[in-house]
């Protein structure tokens, strides 16, 4: 695992409040990042997950360094991204800290499966991607984590399954338009 720290002084011309208001217009898929280290489970809700490459399969996750989850992830070197559906709002809320739940309590009564690398994945998640930490970039308050995907679990695609998204400060569903991009 490579860790790079880049903290440059930037003269911000926009306030944090303005930035946050603008970013509320960016709808994001909701995932739960799970991590385990020496028997201790943790996790958090995230919308800052992005695909980096298909070959080799790699993704990017951004995690606030002040969270307990970051400490576990940094020590373990493994994590899973559990992509949630609209009927899993309760899971998203627990991992977001609603009810002040921490660690193992966030896992609730859902059906979790432990992978060979020790990370837990939600059996009913739309998809779960298990990763090894490949590289970390520390940037301001967050750790940008590149994860090499080595296990994938996913549900069959059902026409009624809706992804859980976060938009304008609340959980929401996605309504398909029925239109697909076409190439000219």
Q: Where exactly are the structural domains of the chain? A: 2-6+29-171
- Name the phi and psi angles at 104, rounded to 5: -60, -30
CATH number of 2-6+29-171, picked from 2.30.110.10, 2.40.340.10, 1.10.357.10, 3.90.79.10: 2.30.110.10
Is 84 within 8 Å of 34 (Cβ atoms)? no
**CA dihedral sign, ordered 160, 113, 107, 127:** negative
- Which of 31-40, 112-121, 169-178 is predicted with the least confidence, judged by mean pLDDT? 169-178
- What is d(CA 168, CA 47) in angstroms, rounded to the nearest whole number? 13
pLDDT at 1 over 70: no
For residue 177, pLDDT over 90 is answered with no
Q: Could you report the per-residue pLDDT of 74-101, keeping only the tens digit for each?
A: 999 999 999 999 999 999 999 999 999 8
pLDDT reported for residue 13: 82
Cis peptide before 56 (omega within 30 of 0): yes
Do residues 92 and 84 make contact, with C-beta atoms less than 8 angstroms apart? yes
The pTM is what? Answer: 0.89
Helices (H), the chain: 16-23, 68-76, 89-95
Give the containing element (helix H, strand E) for 36: strand 31-37
Is the pLDDT at 168 greater than 90? The verdict is yes
* Spatial distance between the Cα atoms of 29 and 47, rounded to a whole number of angstroms: 6
Q: What is the pLDDT of residues 7-52, one digit of tens each?
A: 555 566 888 899 889 899 999 999 999 999 999 999 999 999 999 9
């Amino acid at each position: 695992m490579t860790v790079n720290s880049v903290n440059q002084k930037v003269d911000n011309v926009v306030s944090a409040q303005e930035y946050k208001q603008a970013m509320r217009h960016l709808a994001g898929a909701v995932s739960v990042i799970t991590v385990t280290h020496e028997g201790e489970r943790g996790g958090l809700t995230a919308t800052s997950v992005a695909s980096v490459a298909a070959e080799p399969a790699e993704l990017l996750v951004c995690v606030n360094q002040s969270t307990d989850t970051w400490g576990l992830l940094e020590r373990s070197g493994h994590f899973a991204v559990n992509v949630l559906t609209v009927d899993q709002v309760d899971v998203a809320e627990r991992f977001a800290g609603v009810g002040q739940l921490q660690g193992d309590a966030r896992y609730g009564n859902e059906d979790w499966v432990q992978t060979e690398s020790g990370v837990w994945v939600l059996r009913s998640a739309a998809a779960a991607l298990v990763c090894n930490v490949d590289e970390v970039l520390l940037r301001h308050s967050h750790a940008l984590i590149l994860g090499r995907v080595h296990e994938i679990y996913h549900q069959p695609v059902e026409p009624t399954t809706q992804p859980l998204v976060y938009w304008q400060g609340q959980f929401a569903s996605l309504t398909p338009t029925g239109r697909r991009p076409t190439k000219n």
